Amino acid sequence: MREVNIALIGLGTVGSGVYKTICLQKQRVEHKEGISLNLKKVLALEYAIDIPDSLKATDFYADIVSDKSIDIVIELIGGISPAKEFILAALGAGKTVVTANKDLLAQHWPELNAAAKASGAGLYFEASVGGGIPIIRTIWESLQANEITSMMGIINGTTNYILTKMAEEKLSYEEVLAQAQAQGLAEANPKSDVEGYDAMYKLSILSSLAFHARVPVEYIYREGITGITLEDIKYGQELGYTLKLLAISKREGNTVQARVHPTMIPNTHPLASIRGAFNAIYLHGNIVDDIMLYGRGAGDMPTASAVMSDVIYAANQASHKYTTFYNEKDASSEMTFEKNWESAFFLRLIVLDAPNVLAKIAGIFGSHGVSLASVMQKEHGSESVPLVLITHKAKELSVKQALGELSKIKEVTSVANAIRVES
Ligand SMILES: NC(=O)c1ccc[n+]([C@@H]2O[C@H](COP(=O)([O-])OP(=O)(O)OC[C@H]3O[C@@H](n4cnc5c(N)ncnc54)[C@H](OP(=O)(O)O)[C@@H]3O)[C@@H](O)[C@H]2O)c1
């Protein structure tokens, strides 16, 4: 039986899940893999769960980096510093690192990858995207023969929970956010989730692996869900759409578009059925065709499942694998990042209830090359009424210019929302 000596840093949500998993599944892993998981040290600021004193570390460098017997360091403290320094020190000492830290990986991957390569240690991060969903290894180890051309994902559980609750219980964004915070499903400071940063980091990691080209976060368009209202969701529903915060990336030749934003998708789209805090990633490879992976995108035990898959995988490798694409701070000069991509739009305008208003609006869209696919105006009688339009696919810039022009005419009281539509 091969013994693998492990140090765990961080004993919060995921760290506690990993600790429990090692205790619970130790024998199963021995039977299945012939590996004995030997937890040697645990470093935490506070020990909220009961662990033997003999495991408790007090100093990362003295107790873990300097301990030559430790093979694998599991980093679950999150954030950039000191996580980055800890990981670099562990890699520098030849220890394989398993991390769930998407913020760090998305922003400092080149440096971490180079440090791992230099010492021959492994760097694994299955839990950084999609919680328990094995999406990283699926792209890296199961879809190698494919050219992956597009990816759409619900990769932030908090926002999917909020949008699902708003749609199903007809509640406002503020009401659902407060409920989610009370239940621990959203952070007290929800910015990273609701403004799309978390999904942006994850999309950077996934797109880089899928497209075999680094997609730095700076090239990803980001828009969160804070401007979404119940009206948008209700009108979308009436038109047969479900509203999701999607992470979308596409590659055509050497051109990549990567974006995170609220998106209307037809109710028949596989991603429309993903409810609550669940995640799903839907991608297209030229050989495999369409594929969707679905599961719990967060939580102590699902995320621990992904962390432990990395630990066991790493323990089984004679030598480790590193990224083979141009993995530097900026993207390769061969790559172009599209900002003026094409998509359809759901537009909610507040307009004067008067004759010829629609003709004037359609005329302005037409002058920017934007054509309308459907129009819905249900309310009449008051001075200003909502008008909901779905455009055909159009260039981003054309729609924005048309909306700019519309917002200046007296017939349009306001552009209440503009939400992209994907099919
Ligand atoms: N939660 C999830 O479902 C989930 C899913 C996927 C990925 N992740 C990623 O997993 C990582 C951990 O997330 P989490 O939710 O478990 O966070 P968490 O609950 O906040 O746990 C982090 C723990 O690390 C401790 N810590 C901070 N600095 C430390 C240090 N210098 N030395 C030792 N311990 C330290 C914290 O202690 P204090 O609380 O006392 O500061 C806290 O207990 C993050 O990178 C996160 O993005 C989380």
Ligand 1 closest atom vs CA 10: 24
Residue that is last in its domain, among 286, 307, 337: 337
Residue 235 clears pLDDT 90, i.e. is over it: yes
Token pair listed for 209 = 């692996």
User: 296 falls in which pLDDT band (50, 70, 90)?
Assistant: very high
Residue 263 clears pLDDT 80, i.e. is over it: yes
Token pair listed for 336 = 């172009």
Mean pLDDT, all residues of the chain: 96
Whether 295 lines ligand 1, by a CB cut-off of 6 Å, is no
Whether 43 lines ligand 1, by a CB cut-off of 6 Å, is yes
CB 206 within 8 A of CB 135: yes
Query: What CATH number does the domain containing 47 carry?
Result: 3.40.50.720
Task: State the pairing for strand pair 35-43/56-57.
Answer: parallel
| Residue 304 φ then ψ, to 5° | -60, -35
Report which of 270, 17, 281 is spatially closest to residue 134, judged by C-alpha positions: 281
Q: What is the pLDDT of residues 320-345, one digit of tens each?
A: 999 999 999 999 999 999 999 999 99
Closest residue to atom 28 of ligand 1, CA basis? 77
Give 15 Cα–ligand 1 centroid separation in angstroms.
7
Residue that is last in its domain, among 68, 97, 128: 128
Q: Is residue 323 part of a domain?
A: no
The pLDDT value given to residue 348: 97
Same domain for 373 and 277, yes or no, is no
* % residues pLDDT > 90 (the chain): 96
Number of domains into which the chain is organized? 3
| Residue 245 φ then ψ, to 5° | -90, 110
Q: Is residue 312 part of a domain?
A: no
Alpha helices in 217-299 (DSSP H): 230-238
Give 63 Cα–ligand 1 centroid separation in angstroms.
20
Average pLDDT over residues 367-385: 89
Which range marks the domain in which residue 108 is found? 2-128
Residue to probe by mutation, ligand 1, list 303, 305, 307, most atoms within 8 Å of CB = 303
Q: What is the pLDDT of residues 6-33, one digit of tens each?
A: 999 999 999 999 999 999 999 999 999 9
Question: How far is it, in rounded angstroms, from Cα 19 to Cα 400?
Answer: 50
CB 223 within 8 A of CB 260: yes
The pLDDT value given to residue 184: 87
Give 253 Cα–ligand 1 centroid separation in angstroms.
39
**Residue 360: burial class (beta carbons within 10 Å; 0-12, 13-18, 19+):** middle
Question: How far is it, in rounded angstroms, from Cα 267 to Cα 242?
Answer: 6
User: Which pTM value belongs to this model?
Assistant: 0.97
Q: Is residue 89 part of a domain?
A: yes
Same domain for 101 and 21, yes or no, is yes
Q: Is residue 372 part of a domain?
A: yes
Q: Is residue 86 part of a domain?
A: yes
The pLDDT value given to residue 60: 98
Q: What is the pLDDT of residues 116-159, one digit of tens each?
A: 999 999 999 999 999 999 999 999 999 999 999 999 999 999 99
Same domain for 112 and 79, yes or no, is yes
Question: How far is it, in rounded angstroms, from Cα 416 to Cα 232?
Answer: 9
Same domain for 182 and 243, yes or no, is yes
Token pair listed for 269 = 């789209």
Same domain for 94 and 144, yes or no, is no
Q: Is residue 400 part of a domain?
A: yes
Question: How far is it, in rounded angstroms, from Cα 336 to Cα 372?
Answer: 30
Q: Is residue 264 part of a domain?
A: yes
SS3 assignment, position 343:
strand
The pLDDT value given to residue 378: 79
Residue that is last in its domain, among 128, 156, 175: 128
Q: Is residue 61 part of a domain?
A: yes
